[in-house]
Structure formats: C-alpha cells, structure tokens
Chain A
Amino acid sequence: MALWDPRIEEMPKADLQRMQYKLLKSLVYRLYSFSPFYHDRMKEQNVHPDDIRELSDVRKLPFMFKRDLRDNYPDKIFTASRDELVRYHVSSGTTGKPTVVGYTQNDLDLWSTSLARGMTAIGLGRGDVIQVSYGYGLFTGGLGLHYGAERIGATVLPTSVGNTERQIELMQDLGTTAICCTPSYLLHIGEVAEKMGVNLGKDTQLRTGILGAEPWTEKMRVRIEDWLGIKAYDVYGTSELSGPMFTECAEQNGFHVWSDIALTEIIDPKTEEPLEPGEKGEVTITILQKEALPMIRYRIGDIATMDDEVCTCGRTSPRIHRIEGRVDDMLIIRGINVFPSQVEHTLMAIPEVGQHFQIVVERKGALDDMLVRVELNKESFSDKINDLMNIRQNVEHRLRNSLNVNVDVELVEPGSLPRFEGKSKKVIDKRSM
C-alpha cells in the first residue's frame, strides 16, 4: 500500500493528538494576538490562550459560522496581507452576497498535500490520467483537484464541466483512468456515453471516480460502480476549508480528515455539546494550519458521524462517514450551493411577483432540475400572454444570475402557494438519492 506521507498518515493516535494540541495552541496565540476578529471573539467568550492546556480545551473556544464570513465581506477576517495572498475563491452566500476565501502559497500547498495523500490512498499516482470535470474558476472544485492530481505526478486532463460528448472522446483518446466530478454528472456522462455507443467499462481505461460536491448515498455508489465498472470514492470539503480536501481510502469507509490539518468535532447543533464517535451531529472543524483565513470551530452545517478507530488501511486520522444532511436548508443543485433565502432575496426585488415561493427539485435523467413556483401579483396581471411570459423570463433570468444555477419558473395564482407559520417548508426535494 502506497502512502504519500507515511509519518503523518500512520502516526500513533497519541502522537497525532499531541501534535494537534501544539498546533492548536500556537494557532490560538497567533489569532489572539494578531486577529482583531478572533481577539474580540475570545474576549466575548472569556477565554484566553493560556486557558488552552489540553486538546479538549478546544471546546472553550467560540464557534464560527458562515455568516461571520458574510458579515466580514470580503476580507476583513483575513490574517494575511495582500502581498502574501496568491489566490481567491468565491462561493455563494445565504442572501446572495458571496463569501470570499483567500489563500497563501502555504495554504494552497497544504490543500494539494491533503489531496495528494487521499489520491495516493485510493491508488492513484504517476501514469494515471486524471480528468477533472469539476468547474474551474471561482468554485474550488476544479482547481483544487487539479493541483492535488499534479502533486502526485498524475497527468491532468482539465476538461472542467460540460460539453459531455467531447469529455467522452477525450477520455477515450487520452486514456483517462480517473475522473473527478459530481456523482450526478458522472451518471450523466454514463448516459451520454451509452447514446454514443461507448461502454465506459469496456471502451475506456476509466477505473476510478472521485465524486463529491453534493450528497450521495451508498445506493448510488453501488449503482455507479456496477453500471460503469469503476470504483467510486467520496471526496469532501467546502470552499471555507479550502475546497475538496479529504477523500476516502481504498477501503471506501469514510473520508480521512488528516489530523495535522484539521481538528474535527461532531457536536449537537442544538446544545452545542460534543458528541461521541458514532453519534450523528454537526461537523465542526478547526483548520490547524491555515494562514490567510483561519477557521476555529467552524460550523459547516453538514450532519454526519465520525469514526475515530484506526482504519483498516492503517491510517490513524479520524474518518467522517457520508454527509447525511444539513443543519440549515441549503440545497445542492448540480454541485452549487443554493439557499432558499437567496431565492427569497431575489424575488423581493422583483415587483411583478409576490414573496411566497416554493422550490421543487427533481432529478431529470441524471441532472438536477430546479423549479421555482412564484405567485403573480394582482397589479402585474395582464390579459396578454406575452406580458406574462416576459415576467416569467425576467424572474428566471434574475434567479439564474444570483444563484448561478439554471432555474425554471412557474407563475401561479396569488394565494395558491402554501403558507407556513414559523419555519416554512418551501422546498420539495424529490431527488431520491
């Protein structure tokens, strides 16, 4: 079994935790001293770096949320100067206002290292052709896996997303052995390949899929593996942590969260108390080594369980099992995060429609399809179909611009959408995962 970083990957748990404690301690001192944001947070929480005397003292530290990034848009929490930053990534926020993450060269190196360990654990390396079919750009998926694959000496085929027939042709011509994309896009590639008369299992050298950026299930893994004749591995990350960062090993039993990079807690989202390994709760991560945008106890919002036993592959870092859901109402549509609040925010600025809406998500073929049903305002009603079509097109256009996802809009009669008291159920997700 190949290891990228044997010293860290197989380090005894006690040593790992000692290392984590040292890293945490120096992180907290650094942020208390140099980050006004964290300094104030720690003061509010009445905690001083001297209070961190063992690893479990991380629980004394304040939580951080996505809204903290939004409230400090674009870079008020950054702890690196412009001179030190080498890249930005930008993701969508809950109200349409984006969140920005900056990276120093060390941050990018660590990101690539993390993926290099994961890809090696899957069995990839020199001689592999890795097709990166995640979007390249502000989204972290494409570039993240690109540099991870280069790090292990594999040959990268940076196809990005879309133009599926060409992807399949290149896959055949250049001998792609592994593909990185969302599970639903891989299913779509499979369907298009079938239509082209290409059997991915027989007519290509594809044998590995590194799949993520949207929730999927064991059932879907089995379906992909049986149908396409490949091994499918889960990859996990969020733009705030860096991007796709942690993958499963060949055992396919949860993704390894490297202890030198991240300190993982699973907490009860309501009581905020830590949960035992195996108990389901909210993933909370402290990035122990990050220069530009440190994260202490970042509440990702994903629900999962943690497994702290040494993996059968011999790696000692804890594993997180499949993400089972969200604490909030975030949707993932074709790999893009969509918050119902963004839809609400956009609709509020369009006078022709009301603020009540309903989101219906379905999987058509292999792709996610998002429909927004919205009530036409009385004043905007026209007896001319063209006027109504224009209103609908305008709403579609505005939603597409703010969500970065194609949206179908349906105009419905005023008062016809269900009203809810308190937390409304505005989303009907028909995707059977």
Chain B
Amino acid sequence: MDTKKFVIKQISVFSENRPGRLAAIAHALGEEKVNILAFSIAEANGFGVVRALVDHPQKAHDKLQSMGFNIAFTDVIAVKMKDQPGGLYEVAKILGDAGINIEYSYAYSGKEGAVLILRVDQVEDAIKKIQKSGATLIERSVFH
C-alpha cells in the first residue's frame, strides 16, 4: 500500500512570543503568494511554534529561512471528519481504538468538510492503522 501520498508537509516555525512575529510570517507568505490552508500556534513561556499547512511548502520554507526564521518541515496526516455534531468524536474514537498516539493536532472546517490534522510519531504505522479503522485520510495532492 502506498502510504506516501497521505504524508503532508507541514511547515513549523520557531517564533519568539512578542508582538509582530506572526504578522512578519504572514506578510512574507502573502508576498510569496503562498496560501495558508490550516494553521495553529503552540505557545510556551516566551516562545511559540507556528504550524501551518500551505499550498507551496517549499516556497514558504525558502522565504522564511531567507528571513532568518528557524523553520522545518514536519510530516503530518489529515483525517476527514463529518462537519456536524459528533464528527470529531467519531474520528477521535477510531484513533483511540486504533492505539494512535497524537503528539498534537489541530483542525479546520472548509468547503469540502472538516479536517483533523495530526502529528504522530510513527507516520506510516498510523496511516495503516487509520486506513484499517475505516476513517478517511486526505491525500497530499489536495493541499499541495
């Protein structure tokens, strides 16, 4: 089974927790005509990590790196959810039952429905388990 097509490249950016940092990142991506599809900020005392799914990850990476940002690609996977009450529960239960350990996760709800983005330690293993469980993974080509 080809699991690779389900591996999505998230960009992760280290950012100090001070005013204007998010604006700097967003402005740069806008200038490069990079569209942000999903996005989250994880915050710790004094610093944070900005995580985003974008349509052109390499372009975003190069631009931010040239600006001096500490940036990395992270492999994540995306699971389709029903955009209705109980939708998240359905997927979360499947993941739990399949024994998938989530490092972190965020979600968005768009035109084609709701999507749960997952960062897991064993990506391939998780993809296989999710497929077996009956949930629907979204292919990378949908994003970029």
Contact = CB atoms under 8 A, between A and B. Distances in A.
Interface of A: 376, 378, 381-385, 388-389, 410-416
14 contacts: A381-B70, A381-B72, A382-B72, A384-B119, A385-B42, A385-B43, A385-B104, A389-B44, A410-B47, A411-B47, A412-B16, A413-B68, A416-B16, A416-B68
Interface in B1-24: 10, 12, 14-16
B118 to A, nearest CB: 13
Size class of the B contact interface (CB-based, 8 Å): 20 to 34
B45 to A, nearest CB: 8
B119 A383 contact: yes
Contacts of B10: 383
Contacts of A410: 46-47
B69 interface: yes
Contacts of A378: 70
Interface string B67-108: 011111010000000000000000000000000000110000
B49 interface: yes
B51 interface: yes
Given A410-B47, A412-B16, 8 more contacts: A378-B70, A385-B42, A388-B44, A389-B44, A413-B14, A413-B70, A415-B68, A416-B68
A411 B69 CA distance: 13
A414 B43 CA distance: 18
B68 A383 contact: no
Contacts of A413: 14-16, 68-70
A385 B44 contact: yes
Interface string B41-71: 0111011010100000000000000001111
B47 A383 contact: no
A28 B72 CA distance: 65
A378 B74 CA distance: 14
Rank and list the top 4 A-B pairs by shortest CB-CB distance, nearest first: A383-B12, A415-B68, A383-B74, A381-B70
Contacts of B42: 385
Residue in B51, B70, B119 with the greatest tally of chain A CB atoms within 10 Å: B70
Residue in B51, B69, B74, B119 with the greatest tally of chain A CB atoms within 10 Å: B69
A376 B14 contact: yes
B47 A412 contact: yes
Nearest to B104: A384
A17 B104 CA distance: 76
Contacts of B104: 384-385
Contacts of B69: 413
B44 A381 contact: no
B24 to A, nearest CB: 10
Contacts of B71: 381
Contacts of A376: 14, 70
Nearest to A409: B46
